[in-house]
Structure 1
């Protein structure tokens, strides 16, 4: 009976041991990877998410990665610096001796370094040819868009030459792809305006009455031109290749000025006419204001005038004034015009004015009616004067009687003068304007040019 009990105990023991071996826990290996930012272009960062169950030890192998191996349960993020196909492998085991493994294949792409050069052939004048040079690295396919160009679209790596016919700014766009990722690069191509020949002309200051001889200054307004051919009918010179030349005309008449503009791709010609007049040798100024002494000294109406600059000057103008240009000075004592006279610029300091630096002497005849001289010019003669014929014959000399003052009793009044450089002229006082301290006279002036 005792043997039988012991036998039964032994059977129960072996049965239990057998049951324990059959119930050993297996390892369930599982993991997946996540590419950071879905960016497969190197450097690529891959996060490992381990979902393995019932494992005690882990052995990771990261082909081409950094790190290349790990024994951590969660190895974290692996970096791949080179493009290629790589295997990530996990071998896991537990204390029961159970083992398992899993592999995942990953592919990394080369980084796309997108770029191109748009090289303009010759120049920016239409039509413009642009040679497209692709400098992109790491891409497998391309899509080009050429706004306003011919062709307008291309899928070639090297699209070659694109032609832009019309003026404007156009966008050249390249999209480069490696199959999973793409990058876009844009540039602008500028096409200049179509060629246009155009110009204006104006006389130099001294010749603004267009009486010969006349010097004309040409202002070139041409667009998209690089070369110029000027032809001046009757001018000196007769031709010129400058951009903004000058030309002199010595004879009166109507003349043609022609400009041919060129840019190497196109040329255009334009002509304009200029009419020049005989030389009267007479300069005419109308409605010149000359102030009394208080108006001059407060700068409301100047009392000095230059027939060369055609300007009136007041007290504040003197420091920056070349006094040798002043021909005429007027002194008015008060707003009632009881004492008035024209005085030489080099004598103004004797009449309450500041001296004019570098002033010259001008001879005046204020009172023709009592000058005891041969010079005389009537009102009608002044008004009818269209050239300097009458002035040529006048013998203008200063006399004590002729330089005397006058009042406003006679209107209009004619004043004769002769400048230091020998030019003769006449002043017609048209009005005495009473305006208190700002009072002035209104005059017309006719004077020889030379």
Structure 2
């Protein structure tokens, strides 16, 4: 009996005990991708709730806007604003917990600016800057070498750069949470310099008038030019690189003034021009014997206009018609030598030319039996073409005879197809085997 009473007492004790519910503590955290709060913003949520079994998420302004998953994944925000996130968690005991947070979504932060040059980039150069940035509320400008050097205005106005060279302009913007920066470089042109050089025309390189001169403008940071020429047919020019003919002998002054709207600089140089002697002087020309010419070591074919000796492999159709003088030396003994007309090569070892010129020669004045005569002394003292102009140069069988190396110096007279008269002074016969040559000076009329 007592045992039955004990068991009933125990059952009554446990049956009368009240069940205790499990509490719910709602909690969550979130992380913004790349810590970037500028739209579009992606946020991942982490559920830290304790005691919960079912969940209800609401995301104001988010996509999606609702979730019943424990961890809702990634939520995206596409518009600026302050939005509420709410999590309500429950369990089977009927317990419930709620947590709300606010998240601030910002407009995208874009840093950009545009630089405009005022007038030109010559020092001192002025620039204005248009701020095209967005999503920011603070601005910090730095202007390397500029006046002013810094600014916190959204649009800093006019900036002046006095020193030539590259200058960095940097803008840093912020919305209070994120900071972005951008830099650009402007180039201020060097200080104005006026300078030039000149090149005399090939045919006028003895600086005898009339002389044609090509001027090369080397000015820096200039936009316009004013030239002044003494002793020229054209006294002034505004061209950048003028070509001028000088007609007066003596020392002539050339001035160039360069402008760029802010500065003016002038430079002057002098060129000396000489009286026209109508005499071209060509010195130390080495005419090779026939083996030197055909072996392409020393040329035997000469053009007066270009002042060039050509070897056999250099004779092209474009060259053939320009040849004035041909020297034929039989060997390095110099026992038989003569200058021959370009159209009379059949008696030499040279190939005949196409469309050749005709040049009249007097190789041996002593055998010529003609009135034309010029001594080595007269050659050396010749300062103009008077002596040449008075010569009557005609070909005779005796004048065309070969000569040897027994007479040094020797004067050979000639007249070109164009009627220019000239003299060749053979100064020496140089024995270098198959590369042997004669060393000569030439004086010939220009016109």
Pick the TM interval, shorter chain. Answer: over 0.9
Which of 48, 62, 71 pairs up with 2:68? 71
Which of 423, 427, 448 pairs up with 2:445? 448
List aligned pairs for 1:158-173, cutoff 5 A.
158-173=155-170
Q: Deviation at 1:221?
A: 0.8
Aligned length in residues: 446
Asked if residue 205 in structure 1 is aligned to residue 205 in structure 2, the reply is no
1:29 is aligned to: 26
Q: Deviations over 1:233-289 (max 9, x none)?
A: 221111111111111122211211111111122111111111111111111111101
1:423 is aligned to: 420
DSSP-derived class of the 2:394 partner = coil
2:258 is aligned to: 261
2:234 is aligned to: 237
2:383 is aligned to: 386
Relative to structure 1, the CA distance from residue 294 to residue 221 in structure 2 (aligned partners, 3 Å threshold; closer, same or farther) is same
DSSP-derived class of the 1:47 partner = strand
Q: Deviation at 1:391?
A: 1.1
Structure 2 gap segments, 5+ residues each: none
Q: Deviations over 1:112-145 (max 9, x none)?
A: 1110001111211111111100111111111111
**Partners in 1 of 2:273 and 2:307 — Cα distance?**
22
The CA RMSD measured in Å over matched residues stands at 1.9
**Partners in 2 of 1:20 and 1:226 — Cα distance?**
101
Contact 1:322–1:358 (Cα < 8 Å) also in 2: no
DSSP-derived class of the 1:376 partner = coil
DSSP-derived class of the 2:343 partner = helix
DSSP-derived class of the 2:255 partner = strand
**Partners in 2 of 1:308 and 1:69 — Cα distance?**
96
DSSP-derived class of the 2:62 partner = coil
Asked if residue 87 in structure 1 is aligned to residue 84 in structure 2, the reply is yes
Q: Deviation at 1:437?
A: 1.5
**Partners in 1 of 2:317 and 2:441 — Cα distance?**
26
Which of 316, 326, 331 pairs up with 1:329? 326
Q: Deviation at 1:5?
A: 6.3
2:338 is aligned to: 341
Q: Deviation at 1:325?
A: 2.3
Asked if residue 96 in structure 1 is aligned to residue 93 in structure 2, the reply is yes
Q: Deviation at 1:215?
A: 1.2
**Partners in 1 of 2:16 and 2:183 — Cα distance?**
75
Q: Deviation at 1:324?
A: 3.2
DSSP-derived class of the 1:325 partner = coil
Which of 426, 430, 433 pairs up with 1:433? 430
Q: Deviation at 1:9?
A: 5.3
Q: Deviations over 1:288-345 (max 9, x none)?
A: 0111111111211000111111111111122153333221110011121121100001
Asked if residue 281 in structure 1 is aligned to residue 289 in structure 2, the reply is no
Relative to structure 1, the CA distance from residue 315 to residue 235 in structure 2 (aligned partners, 3 Å threshold; closer, same or farther) is same
Asked if residue 221 in structure 1 is aligned to residue 218 in structure 2, the reply is yes
Asked if residue 374 in structure 1 is aligned to residue 371 in structure 2, the reply is yes
**Partners in 2 of 1:18 and 1:70 — Cα distance?**
41
**Partners in 2 of 1:155 and 1:369 — Cα distance?**
98
Asked if residue 177 in structure 1 is aligned to residue 177 in structure 2, the reply is no
Asked if residue 361 in structure 1 is aligned to residue 355 in structure 2, the reply is no
With the length of structure 2 as denominator, give the TM-score of the two structures: 0.96
**Partners in 2 of 1:274 and 1:175 — Cα distance?**
58
1:410 is aligned to: 407
Which of 112, 117, 121 pairs up with 1:115? 112
Asked if residue 303 in structure 1 is aligned to residue 300 in structure 2, the reply is yes
Contact 2:367–2:401 (Cα < 8 Å) also in 1: no
DSSP-derived class of the 1:350 partner = coil
Q: Deviation at 1:350?
A: 3.5
Q: Deviation at 1:354?
A: 1.8
**Partners in 1 of 2:53 and 2:240 — Cα distance?**
90
1:396 is aligned to: 393
Q: Deviation at 1:358?
A: 2.5
Which of 126, 129, 132 pairs up with 2:126? 129
**Partners in 2 of 1:18 and 1:46 — Cα distance?**
50
2:18 is aligned to: 20
With the length of structure 1 as denominator, give the TM-score of the two structures: 0.95
Asked if residue 291 in structure 1 is aligned to residue 291 in structure 2, the reply is no
Q: Deviations over 1:188-237 (max 9, x none)?
A: 10111111111112211111001111111111111111111111122111
Q: Deviations over 1:422-444 (max 9, x none)?
A: 11111111111111211111111
Contact 1:322–1:357 (Cα < 8 Å) also in 2: no
Which of 141, 150, 165 pairs up with 1:153? 150
**Partners in 2 of 1:370 and 1:355 — Cα distance?**
27
